[in-house]
A and B are shown apart, each in its own frame.
Chain A
Amino acid sequence: EAQVTQNPRYLITVTGKKLTVTCSQNMNHEYMSWYRQDPGLGLRQIYYSMNVEVTDKGDVPEGYKVSRKEKRNFPLILESPSPNQTSLYFCASSLGLANYEQYFGPGTRLTVT
């Protein structure tokens, strides 16, 4: 089944404790992206990647890191999480190459205390 998966789905952590949210797609998509969703703010893009080893900042990249070492994986890293990073995170992917339809993962609910 073609899909985007994220792990974990729910995470409660403490300020300053490094964490990684994984994202994987099995559709051979070139493009992958991370978003955060907050009430009243819609979705905001954190980082995106056009291909392996190519990443770029979105609208709200501060406090986050990403890497794209393999085509299928695009982990989101929070080196020192803070309470203002409490949010619902979505990974998405698209075929790229002028096909922009994004498929979203199921979301990761992160709480930083």
Chain B
Amino acid sequence: GENVEQHPSTLSVQEGDSAVIKCTYSDSASNYFPWYKQELGKRPQLIIDIRSNVGEKKDQRIAVTLNKTAKHFSLHITETQPEDSAVYFCAASLYTGNQFYFGTGTSLTVIP
């Protein structure tokens, strides 16, 4: 099966700074890469996703980049705000959105 590794496990940044979370995957057949945000005690919510035929995608302060050759993808959050504090999970999907493999999560703290 697929193996997704996520780094760092914890990340603290000053408000206004950028945050970058990196994930690697092992199976070149993976073709869909979502990122989820999970606030304390809440359910995961999709914040951005990217498919294997795209190298970069942006949505306001959030961007995701994908390097298929190196099998890694990254989440970039610019101008961080305290409400960005949460646990972020990356995932990789095999077989077109059927099987999902998640990273172990990054706890992001934005210091006001």
A residues with CB within 8 A of B: 31, 33, 35, 40-45, 48, 50, 56, 58-59, 90, 94, 96, 98, 100-102, 104-107
Contact = CB atoms under 8 A, between A and B. Distances in A.
B29 interface: no
B101 A41 contact: no
A101 B49 contact: yes
Nearest to A94: B97
A100 B43 contact: no
B32 A100 contact: yes
A43 B34 CA distance: 13
Interface in B1-19: 1, 6
Given A42-B105, A102-B34, A107 B99 contact: no
A104 B44 contact: yes
Contacts of A94: 97
A90 B104 contact: no
19 contacts: A35-B100, A40-B104, A41-B104, A42-B6, A42-B89, A42-B103, A42-B105, A43-B102, A48-B99, A48-B100, A50-B98, A59-B99, A59-B101, A100-B32, A100-B93, A100-B97, A102-B34, A106-B43, A107-B43
B11 to A, nearest CB: 16
Q: Give the size range of B's interface with the partner.
A: 20 to 34
A31 B101 contact: no
B54 interface: no
B45 interface: yes
Given A43-B91, A58-B100, A105-B43, 16 more contacts: A31-B97, A31-B98, A35-B100, A35-B102, A42-B102, A42-B103, A43-B89, A44-B102, A45-B100, A45-B101, A48-B100, A50-B98, A59-B99, A90-B43, A100-B34, A101-B46
A77 B49 CA distance: 31
A91 B96 CA distance: 19
Contacts of A33: 100
Contacts of B98: 31, 48, 50, 56
A31 B100 CA distance: 12
B9 to A, nearest CB: 8
